[in-house]
Chain A
Amino acid sequence: MADSHTFVLPNSGHNFDAKASKMGMWLFLFTELLLFGGLFLVYIIYRYLNQDAFLLASFELNVWMGTINTIVLLTSSMTIAMAITALQKGNAKLAITLSWLTILAALSFLVIKYFEWSSKFEHGLFPGMDHFDGLPLGERLYFYLYFFMTGLHALHVIVGGVFIAVVIRLIKKEKVTKERYSLLENSGLYWHLVDLIWIYLFPLFYLIH
Chain B
Amino acid sequence: MNGKEKITENTSTHEHISSYAEHFGTWVALILLTLMTVFISTFGADLRTLTVATALLIATVKALAVALYFMHLKYDAKIYRAWMIIVMALFVFFLFMVTLDYITR
Question: Which interface residue of B34, B56, B71, B79 has the most chain A CB atoms within 10 A?
Answer: B71
Q: A74-B31, A81-B70, A192-B70 are in contact. Are A26 and B13 (CB under 8 A)?
A: no
For B23, list chain A residues within 8 Å (CB).
78, 81-82, 85
Q: Is the CB of B27 within 8 A of A74?
A: yes
Which residue in B41, B66, B80, B102 is a CB contact (below 8 Å) of A209?
B41
Give a binary string over B61-105; 1 marks a CB under 8 Å from any A CB, 0 the rest: 011001101111000000110010001000100110011001100
Q: Is the CB of A199 within 8 A of B51?
A: no
A185 CA to B72 CA, complexed, in Å: 10
Q: A45-B102, A88-B14, A192-B70 are in contact. Are A203 and B55 (CB under 8 A)?
A: yes
For B45, list chain A residues within 8 Å (CB).
209
Q: Return B18 CB to nearest CB of chain A, in Å.
A: 6
Which residue in A70, A78, A192, A202 is a CB contact (below 8 Å) of B27?
A78
A7, CB-defined interface residue at 8 Å: no
A44 CA to B103 CA, complexed, in Å: 10
For B91, list chain A residues within 8 Å (CB).
33-34, 37
User: How many residues in B have their beta carbons less than 8 Å from beta carbons of A?
Assistant: 46
A82 CA to B72 CA, complexed, in Å: 11
A199 CA to B34 CA, complexed, in Å: 9
Q: Is the CB of B63 within 8 A of A203?
A: no
A196 CA to B62 CA, complexed, in Å: 8
Within 8 A of A (CB), among B26-78: 26-27, 30-31, 34-35, 37-38, 41-42, 44-45, 48, 51-52, 55-56, 58-59, 62-63, 66-67, 69-72
Across the A-B interface, the 4 shortest Cβ-Cβ residue pairs: A203-B55, A207-B41, A18-B13, A78-B27
Interface positions of A (Cβ within 8 A of B):
18-19, 23, 26, 30, 33-34, 37, 40-41, 44-45, 48, 63, 67, 70-71, 74-75, 77-78, 80-82, 84-85, 88-89, 179-182, 185, 188-189, 192, 195-196, 199-200, 202-204, 207-209
Interface positions of B (Cβ within 8 A of A):
13-14, 17-20, 23-24, 26-27, 30-31, 34-35, 37-38, 41-42, 44-45, 48, 51-52, 55-56, 58-59, 62-63, 66-67, 69-72, 79-80, 83, 87, 91, 94-95, 98-99, 102-103
Q: Beyond A196-B63, A199-B63, A203-B59: 17 further Cβ-contacts under 8 Å?
A: A30-B83, A37-B91, A41-B99, A48-B102, A63-B38, A67-B34, A74-B31, A74-B34, A78-B70, A81-B23, A88-B17, A179-B14, A188-B71, A196-B67, A199-B66, A203-B55, A209-B48
